[in-house]
Chain A
Amino acid sequence: MAENTVKTPMTMIQALRSAMDVMLEKDEQVVVFGQDVGYFGGVFRCTEGLQKKYGTSRVFDTPISEGGIVGVAIGMGAYGLRPCIEIQFADYIYPAYDQIVSEAARLRFRSAGDFTAPITIRTPCGGGIYGGQTHSQSPEAVFAHVCGLRTVMPSNPYDAKGLLISSIENDDPVIFLEPKRLYNGPFDGHHDKPVVPWSQNPLGEVPEGYYTVPLDKAAIFRPGKQLTVLAYGTMVWVSEAAARETGIDAEIIDLRSLWPLDLATIVESVKKTGRCVVVHEATRTCGFGAELVSLVQEHCFYHLEAPIERVTGWDTPYPHAQEWAYFPGPARVGAAFKRAVEA
C-alpha cells in the first residue's frame, strides 16, 4: 500500500470523486458512467469535473436504464475495460438485478475464467434523510446473498476513497454502497442536532493521491471490553453515540466489507467480550444481520454470555413521516447494549 501522506480535508463525496479521479488517471481501462454522471457531475456531485478532465469517452451520461448501465458495463468488462458505474439510488438497482446476479456475479465461474466482470457498481444507500420508500433503502442483504459478488460499504471519507480504489482495482464485481446520510458529515442519529461537517473529523483527512484500504478487512472503530458491536455505514456512528450515552464500553467493529467479510476480527472480539449486538438500517427478517448472528453463534457459542441482539429497521417499507421511529437511533441501539450487558 503506497500511502500518500499529503492529506486534505474531504467530504465523503469529495473522497469518492478523488478515488475515481485517481483511477481514471492511473488506469486507462477505467471508465465512469451512469445517469447524470457526465456533464452535470452526478446528482450528489460525486463525479463533478471528471468528464471535463477525462473527456466524454471516459466519463459519460447514460439513458435511464439500470439494466442497461450494468449490462453494457459487463460487456465492456469482457472487452477489457474496468467500468466504475453509478446507480443513482440503491432503491433503483432492482431493474439491474438480473444483470448483476445472473451475469456479473457468474461470468467468471460459468466461463471457467474465459471472461470476467471487473466492474464496480456505486450506489447511494441508506435512510435518515426523509427519503421515503425509494430513496432510503439498504439492500445489502440482497447482494451479500449472491455468490460471486463483493459487497462493500464505507463509513467515512478516508475509507470511502481507499475502499473505492480497491474495488475498482479488484477483478471481481463489487457492489459499492455509499451511505448518502454520511456524504457531508458523520451522523449519529441525533437528527435534531446540526450536522458536523467532515472537516472537523480526523477521518475526513484524506490523502490526495493513490492509496488503498484492503477489502475483506474490518476496522475496530472503537475499542472496548464489554460487548462487541457489528455495524457498517451510518450505524457505526449511531453505535458510537449509543456507547457514549450509555457509558457501555462497546467494541465497535466497522465491517467495511460485508461479504466476503473479515470473520477473524469479529470472532476475536466476541470471544473477548462475550456479548454481541448487530446493528443495521435494513429491515430485520433475512437481513444481513441474520448471517452475522449465525456466524457469531457458530464460532463463539461457548464464549457467549448473553443472547446476540439485533437492532435493525422494522420489517416495513421505509416510511416518510415516521422516519425517526423507523431509523435505529442511539436510544434503540443503546437499549440493546444494556440488554446485552445486563443479560
Chain B
Amino acid sequence: MSKGEPLRLHVPEPTGRPGCNTDFSYLRLSPAGAVRRPEVDVTPMDTRDLAYSLISVLDAEGNAVGPWAPQIDIELVRKGMRAMMKTRIFDSRMLMAQRQKKMSFYMQSLGEEAIGTAQALALNVDDMCFPTYRQQSILIVRDYPMVDMICQLMSNERDPLKGRQLPVMYSVKKAGFFSISGNLATQYIQAVGWGMASAIKGDTKIASAWIGDGATAEADFDTALTFAHVYRAPVILNVVNNQWAISTFQAIAGGEDTTFAARGVGCGIASLRVDGNDFLAVYAASCWAAERARRNLGPCLIEWVTYRAGPHSTSDDPSKYRPADDWSHFPLGDPIARLKQYLIKAGAWSEQEHEETQKRLEAEVLTAQKESEQYGTMASGHTFSPAEMFDGIYKELPEHLRVQRQQLGI
C-alpha cells in the first residue's frame, strides 16, 4: 500500500445477481452436531465462539445429532410440522387472493416457517412475542383462527382491527402476539420494556423480540441490546437473517465478514447463531434462551440463518436483483423438507401422511378463506364504517374528532 494512494469507498455487493449463481461460502456454516452446548448460565463473553459458528441438529440424512439435539416429545414435532405446512399453505393461498384483488397486499414467509413455529412451541402462550410482519407462523402454531387472520387481510366487516391496518399487521394480545407496526425495529426495544416490566412485577413471563437482518441497522436494534444488557431483561432477541432486506443483501446491513450474533456478544449478551431451517435446532436454542431468561440469567440474542425464499412482498419482484433459482442453492435447504426427512426416519411421519396432511390443510385454509369472504373482501367493498376511523385514537372521543366525524356525515 503506497502512501498517498486515493481512498476508495467500499460498497458491498452480493455475489449472485440475476443470471449468475450466488456463492454461499460467506455463510460460515458448521457441520450438524459440531457446536458445543454450554450451560444456560454461561457468561456472555463465553459465547463468542457460538456467535461465529452455526448450531445445527439435523444432518444431511435427517438424523438429529450433537449436544443440541433436543429432548422433545415427537407429538410436539408433528404439531410443529403441521404448523409449518399450514403456514406455507396459508401464505400461498393468500398470495393468490392478493392476485385476485381480494386484498391489497401480502407478505409470505416462505422458507422461514421453522423459526417462528419452533420458538413459539418453546415458549408459553403468555410469553409476549413482538413480531415483525414475517412471523405469521407464531399465530398459526398458537392456533389463532385463520378466519380472523384472513378477515384482517381483507379488511372486511369482521376484521379485528376494523380496517385500520395494512394487511399482515396483525395484533392478537390473547395469543401473545404484539401489534405489528410498519416502522421497522420499533418493537425490538418495546419487547425489552415488556420484559423489564415482567421483572419489575416479579412475574415469570418473558418476552420474545423479532427483527430482520436489514432492520438491525435501525437505531432501535442497538438500543434494545443496550437496555436488555443493562437491566438483564428476560427477553429473547431474535435476528432472522434471511440474507435479504427487500433488494439489499445482508452485507450492506453490516453482515460482511461478521455475524449478527456477534453484535450481541459485543453488548454483553449471550449469543447463539443457529440454523434457522432446522426445526430441532430452533426449538433447542429457543428452549435454552427461554430457560436462561426465566432463571433471571439475562437476555439471549439468537441469529437465525435462513433464506427469504419468496419475494419480499406482493409488491416485489426478486428476479430484478437476485438469481431466480437462489433458494435451491441455499445450503440450509427447506425447513419443511428437512423436518419431514427426520420425522419419516423417526417413524413418526410418512409420505402418505404428508400428502394427506397437505390436502387436509389446504382444505382447512380454503374453508377459512371462504368463511372470511362472507364478511367481505377489498374487492366487494364490505369494510368497517368510516365512523371507525375516528374511534380509538384516544380512549374517549375528543370534541374535535366528534366534530370531524359529523362533518363526514356519520
Residues of A participating in the B interface, judged by any CB pair closer than 8 Å: 31, 57-58, 62-63, 65, 67-68, 71-76, 78-81, 95, 98-99, 102-103, 106-116, 147-148, 150, 170-172, 216, 260, 263
Contact = CB atoms under 8 A, between A and B. Distances in A.
B230 interface: yes
Contact of B173 (A102, A108, A115): A115
A264 to B, nearest CB: 8
B190 A78 contact: yes
Contacts of A263: 399-400
Contacts, number: 139
B171 A115 contact: yes
Interface of B: 128, 130, 160-162, 164-165, 169, 171-173, 178-179, 181-183, 186, 189-201, 207, 219-220, 223-224, 226-227, 230, 392-395, 398-400
A110 B394 contact: no
Contact of A112 (B161, B192, B224): B161
A95 B219 contact: yes
Given A68-B189, A75-B196, A81-B201, 10 more contacts: A65-B223, A67-B219, A73-B193, A74-B190, A76-B200, A79-B201, A98-B183, A99-B189, A110-B165, A115-B171
B78 to A, nearest CB: 31
A112 B171 contact: yes
Contacts of B189: 67-68, 71-72, 75, 99
A260 B398 contact: yes
Contacts of A67: 189, 219-220, 223
B233 to A, nearest CB: 9
Contacts of A57: 199-200
A65 B229 CA distance: 14
A99 B200 CA distance: 22
A76 B193 CA distance: 5
15 contacts: A62-B227, A62-B230, A65-B227, A67-B219, A76-B196, A95-B219, A102-B181, A110-B179, A111-B171, A111-B173, A111-B179, A112-B161, A115-B179, A170-B395, A260-B394
Contacts of B191: 75
B178 A78 contact: yes
A172 B192 CA distance: 21
A75 B181 contact: no
A66 to B, nearest CB: 9
Contact of A63 (B128, B164, B169, B230): B230
Contact of B394 (A73, A114, A172): A172
Contacts of B182: 102
B200 to A, nearest CB: 5
B164 A58 contact: no
A114 B173 contact: yes
- Quick one: which of B172, B186, B399 has the most chain A CB within 10 A? B186
B202 to A, nearest CB: 9
Contacts of A68: 189, 220, 223-224, 226-227
Given A75-B194, A79-B197, A109-B393, A260 B400 contact: yes
A76 B395 contact: no
Contacts of B219: 67, 95
A255 to B, nearest CB: 14
Contact of B392 (A62, A75, A112): A112
A81 B393 contact: no
Nearest to B193: A75
Nearest to A262: B399
B174 to A, nearest CB: 9
Contacts of A170: 395
A166 B115 CA distance: 44
Contacts of A102: 181-183, 186
Question: Top 7 A-B pairs ranked by shortest CB distance?
Answer: A75-B193, A72-B193, A71-B189, A79-B197, A75-B190, A111-B179, A111-B171
A260 B189 CA distance: 29
A72 B186 contact: no
A68 B393 CA distance: 23
Contacts of A112: 160-162, 164, 171, 392
Contacts of B200: 31, 57-58, 76, 81
Contacts of A98: 183, 186, 220
A76 B194 contact: yes
A78 B201 CA distance: 14
A63 B192 CA distance: 14
- Quick one: which of B169, B182, B195, B220 has the most chain A CB within 10 A? B220
A99 B193 CA distance: 13
B181 A115 contact: no
B193 A103 contact: no
Nearest to A73: B193
B270 to A, nearest CB: 19
Nearest to B165: A110
A103 B161 contact: no
A57 B199 CA distance: 9
A109 B392 contact: yes
Given A103-B186, A112-B160, A79 B181 contact: no
B399 A109 contact: no
Given A103-B190, A147-B393, A71 B220 contact: yes
Contacts of B227: 62-63, 65, 68, 71-72
Nearest to B223: A68
Given A72-B193, A75-B207, A172 B220 contact: no
A81 B178 CA distance: 16
Given A74-B193, A113-B392, A63 B226 contact: yes
Contacts of A58: 200
A229 to B, nearest CB: 22
Nearest to A55: B200
A148 B190 contact: no
Contacts of B190: 71-72, 74-75, 78, 103
A96 to B, nearest CB: 10
Contacts of B192: 71-72, 75
A64 to B, nearest CB: 10
- Quick one: which of A62, A81, A148, A170 has the most chain B CB within 10 A? A81
Given A78-B178, A148-B394, A110 B169 contact: yes
A113 B179 CA distance: 10
Contacts of A65: 223, 226-227
A148 B196 CA distance: 25
Contacts of A109: 164, 392-393
Contacts of A107: 179
A107 B197 CA distance: 18
A113 B223 CA distance: 27
Nearest to A33: B196
A262 to B, nearest CB: 9
A110 B171 contact: yes
A102 B218 CA distance: 14
